[in-house]
Amino acid sequence: MNAVTTKIVPAAQQVTSGEKGLSYRGYYKHDLVKPDYELTSTMHGTPMGEYMRRFWQPVCLSEELKDLPKAIRILGEDLVAYRDRSGNIGVLHRYCAHRGASLEYGIIGENGIRCCYHGWAYGNDGRLLEAPCEPDDSRLKKTVCQGAYPAFERDGLVFAYMGPSEMQPPFPEFSTFTYPKDNRLVPFSNIYPCNWLQVYENIMDHMHTAVLHNRMVVSGTDDDVAKNLSLEGFGDMPVMQWEVTRDGNGIVFIAGRRLPEDKVWIRITEMIFPNFLQIGSLFCTGGRERHGTTGMTRWNVPVDDEHMIIFGYRHFNSEVDPDGLGCEEDCGVDKIDFLDGQVGDRTYEEGQRAPGDWEAIVSQGKIASHGAENPGFSDTGVYKLRKQLRDILAGKVKPYQLYDRLLTEGKSLPIYTQDTVLNIPELPTALDRKQILDLGKKVLAAMQAGDEVDADEREEFIRREMDKIDGGCQPLRPAAE
């Protein structure tokens, strides 16, 4: 009987080179799939977790705090949030310091919360106020406390500071929160069952808008088209560049698109590390805006290493959405008013037929594997972002001085996010591409020139800077028309 012998060769020795070696490689690719824990893990004590804990983070919406405590999980910590009967916010460790019953079953009091099990009552700062089962001379109140974090509400979001007390920073007030004067901040959350970083990175991956979202225009239903932001311009592949900002503490993409009638649309989106960003107009037609401001603020908050929540504000005002296409009622807990596929509220089949950001990002895995990627030019922003985060964690980047000074002086912070349409004659293809890159740099420089200008005068100043770029051509149509 002839025995067939199979020699077992380790995978590493079976790698061949050349074009032939690129066929049927399924078996050999498994070793590449490893989470990049340095950037993705935000648990207590990890480098990224400690960095995140130096900033105020949104932890829930105000509307989620009713008459019962709310169990929340942020940065891998089980917490409970509540509004006490005096109207103040408490964010405490969830499990009672006595013997661990969850405070989500607690009783909200006048000034704090009381555990359901043996009645220990805690103030919002975590001090033990009462222990009714203990003798009067018990010293427990002098020695025990519940873990607690400073917290407050602002325009419908609840913020907490989860870092060391002595390093608590002021809350960053961005000038776009109150500009233009009719701006209304409407809170929302979008829940993603995956790591925070792949959701954050999606913003620097701007070229996907011309593919992922444009596909919905091509193959979706009329309803998809109506809700899609790719009505005009977004479907075109942009001329892209990325710049590190804020002395290494931020990054922008600058997307330039040639439009009909000798117009060029420059869109800039800025992220400020570790997890903040603002996005420009969500309903930009790419045709008539002279200069526009923020449509959305987002914090990408880790729940734990495999879950995250985008908390943020939609900005409603006559400048960023002059046609009133946004809908305040469609913004709230796990919902947003633009573009299907921002949350996991659709059937599997609907997601397959018209995938959105949620389907694309969640399908990258619980923690997207960086080692298995094959990056190209379009990923430049994603890779620059990761490098900056690594440099920050390694201590190579100092905190942004201007922001520290503005916050200390009680001033609001500027951001470079914007959309501007310039009137610039078209050149032959290669020259036009270079011209658009140069225009993008000039628009960013105009925004940066406004850094030190008082918030009340900044927008006018920036508009004058934009006028210098194309010779002060009149807007084709005033933004508020």
User: Which residues are at the interface with ligand FES (CB under 6 A)?
Assistant: 96, 98-101, 115, 117-120
- Shortest distance in whole angstroms from residue 136 CB to ligand FES: 17
- Shortest distance in whole angstroms from residue 84 CB to ligand FES: 17
- Shortest distance in whole angstroms from residue 124 CB to ligand FES: 17
- 387 makes contact, choosing from Fe ion, ligand FES, none, with CB < 5 to 8 Å by partner type, with none
- 468 makes contact, choosing from Fe ion, ligand FES, none, with CB < 5 to 8 Å by partner type, with none
391, containing H or E segment: helix 380-393
* Comparison of 70 and 213: residue with beta carbon closer to ligand FES: 70
- Shortest distance in whole angstroms from residue 158 CB to ligand FES: 23
* Comparison of 101 and 362: residue with beta carbon closer to ligand FES: 101
From CA 239, how far away is CA 14, in angstroms rounded? 41
* Comparison of 60 and 97: residue with beta carbon closer to ligand FES: 97
* Comparison of 101 and 407: residue with beta carbon closer to ligand FES: 101
- Shortest distance in whole angstroms from residue 298 CB to Fe ion: 12
- Shortest distance in whole angstroms from residue 141 CB to ligand FES: 13
* Comparison of 107 and 217: residue with beta carbon closer to ligand FES: 107
From CA 159, how far away is CA 63, in angstroms rounded? 13
- CB proximity list for 139: less than 8 A, separation 6 or greater: none
- 54 makes contact, choosing from ligand FES, Fe ion, none, with CB < 5 to 8 Å by partner type, with none
* Comparison of 107 and 333: residue with beta carbon closer to ligand FES: 107
- Shortest distance in whole angstroms from residue 130 CB to ligand FES: 10
Count, residues in the chain: 481
- 101 makes contact, choosing from ligand FES, Fe ion, none, with CB < 5 to 8 Å by partner type, with ligand FES
From CA 433, how far away is CA 257, in angstroms rounded? 9
From CA 435, how far away is CA 259, in angstroms rounded? 13
Residue with the shortest CB distance to Fe ion? 357
Preceding peptide of 274 cis, ω within 30°: yes
Return the half-sphere exposure (C-beta side, CA atoms, 13 A cut-off) of residue 136. 0
Cα first-last separation, the chain? 89
Does residue number 201 form part of the binding site for Fe ion (CB under 5 A)? no
- 117 makes contact, choosing from ligand FES, Fe ion, none, with CB < 5 to 8 Å by partner type, with ligand FES
243, 321, 357, 459: which one contacts Fe ion (CB under 5 A)? 357
* Comparison of 357 and 459: residue with beta carbon closer to Fe ion: 357
* Comparison of 120 and 316: residue with beta carbon closer to ligand FES: 120
- 357 makes contact, choosing from ligand FES, Fe ion, none, with CB < 5 to 8 Å by partner type, with Fe ion
Tokens representing 20 are 């032939």
- Shortest distance in whole angstroms from residue 151 CB to ligand FES: 21
- 439 makes contact, choosing from Fe ion, ligand FES, none, with CB < 5 to 8 Å by partner type, with none
Which amino acid appears at position 72 of this protein?
I
Chain CA centroid to CA 400, Å: 19
From CA 338, how far away is CA 266, in angstroms rounded? 21
* Comparison of 121 and 240: residue with beta carbon closer to ligand FES: 121
- Helix 429-449 vs helix 455-470: crossing angle, to nearest 10: 160
- Shortest distance in whole angstroms from residue 202 CB to Fe ion: 6
Report DSSP letters for 88-105, one per residue: -EEEEESB-TTT--BGGG
CB 273 within 8 A of CB 250: yes
Residue whose C-alpha is closest to residue 197's, from 310, 55, 53: 310
- 164 makes contact, choosing from ligand FES, Fe ion, none, with CB < 5 to 8 Å by partner type, with none
Report DSSP letters for 405-456, one per residue: HHHHTTPPBP---EEEEEE-----HHHHHHHHHHHHHHHHHHHHHTTTS-HH
Beta strands 77-83; 70-74: pairing state = antiparallel
Residues of this chain that interact with Fe ion (CB under 5 A) are 357
